[in-house]
Copies of this chain bind each other. A is one copy, B any other.
Amino acid sequence: MALYVQKYGGTSVGSVERIEAVADKVKGFRDRGDDVVVVLSAMSGETNRLIGLAKDIQAQPNARELDVLVSTGEQVTIALLCMALHKRGVDARSYTGGQVRIRTDNTHTKARIQDIETERMRADLDAGRVVVVAGFQGVDDNGNITTLGRGGSDTTGVALAAALKADECQIYTDVDGVYTTDPRVVEDARRLDKITFEEMLEMASLGSKVLQIRSVEFAGKYKVPLRVLSSFVDGPGTLITIEDDNTVEKPVISGIAFNRDEAKLTVIGVPDIPGVASRILGPISRANIEVDMIVQNVAADQTTDFTFTVHRNDYEKAQKILEQVVAELGARECAGDNKIAKVSIVGVGMRSHAGVASKMFDALANENINIQMISTSEIKVSVVIAEKYLELAVRALHSSFNLDSSDTVSE
């Protein structure tokens, strides 16, 4: 008998029929004697419908009210799933984020979970009930409804699994696991049986949209075993775990991630003096714009160029902020490009293998793809290229690192 936290996404609860199918699945676990806490997203399309209503009224709706509005989406699905479980003779009770007291900070639309009260869920589990919690939402210290931002239901799932010390957090989605890269780009992409948290983190943050990045951070931090599975077809999915040091042979690269949602901004001719980076990024972060890659090279003369990437939606906002910063810093000018893509190779194995980066650069050069930015970490190498080369680059790298399913790769 295990305790599972199961998160079902929007397409998995997109209709009454799909909700009934989720109820069947949950009943299966209960019948085997497992305890289940279910976390749900809104029905697919519902969040967009609600945001559409808001935008009909105001282009930039107040964040607090937006949270009040969109949090209704999950509240609908939790009630419906409980009814579907009752219909099957399975006792169940629903809770909104505020009711289960998923306490967050007060950054509306992008709140972060601070703690979760588990007494009430424990009591329900002890009483033989399935607990059904609204994903994506919480409540701040003043009782205001908050949301965790898009994809936040994954984070709710992992946070609940951590708080309840669940045996596994299962993320049910419309794909049957984590692949070496997007199968829509590379036909031969392979499902991975296992991937480490660190690799998954790089994969998720870089655009393999299977899981929301914060949920993986959370899972890694609290050592919650995380499994990605399909809610439509049965299968083992992909288990995301702590690195297994006993694995003798590890592939150098686990996967190729990519992302076309970014834009790059460069401040040109920045005086090469201490404190410049924070004077550039300070105003950006205060405007709640998230920065991804940051690259600054050594200064050629007394000045340097400072480049970073943001989400494309924040591109114009960031540009406006930089105009001010350029003036204050006495920098030369600000340049930007929102027709870029980021491609990354990810793998724990690259730690012990030299030459991975150069192999990547070779593969891209062979296709005449110019590299605009490079950024590396212990287990990944990312490059920014022109968006139009994205598919070509991913295919070249997938093949160059022998990730195709036709190859035999020891795992």
Contacts and interface: CB of A to CB of B under 8 A. Distances in A.
B58 A69 contact: no
B72 A58 contact: no
B58 A83 contact: yes
Interface stretch (A60-68, A239-247, A312-320, A362-370): A60-68
Q: Is the interface of A mostly helix, strand, loop or mixed?
A: helix
A94 B68 contact: yes
A125 interface: no
**Contact-size category for A:** 35 or more
B76 A62 contact: no
Contacts of A99: 143-145
A118 B86 CA distance: 37
A66 B82 CA distance: 10
Interface of A: 16, 19-20, 50, 53-54, 56-58, 61-62, 64-66, 68-69, 71-72, 75-76, 78-80, 82-84, 86-87, 93-94, 96, 98-99, 143-145
B53 A76 contact: yes
Contacts of A86: 58, 61-62, 65
11 contacts: A58-B86, A62-B86, A65-B79, A65-B82, A65-B83, A66-B79, A68-B94, A69-B79, A72-B76, A75-B75, A98-B98
Residue among A80, A86, A99 having the largest count of chain B Cβ atoms under 10 Å: A80
Contacts of A79: 54, 65-66, 68-69
Contact of A87 (B58, B84, B143): B58
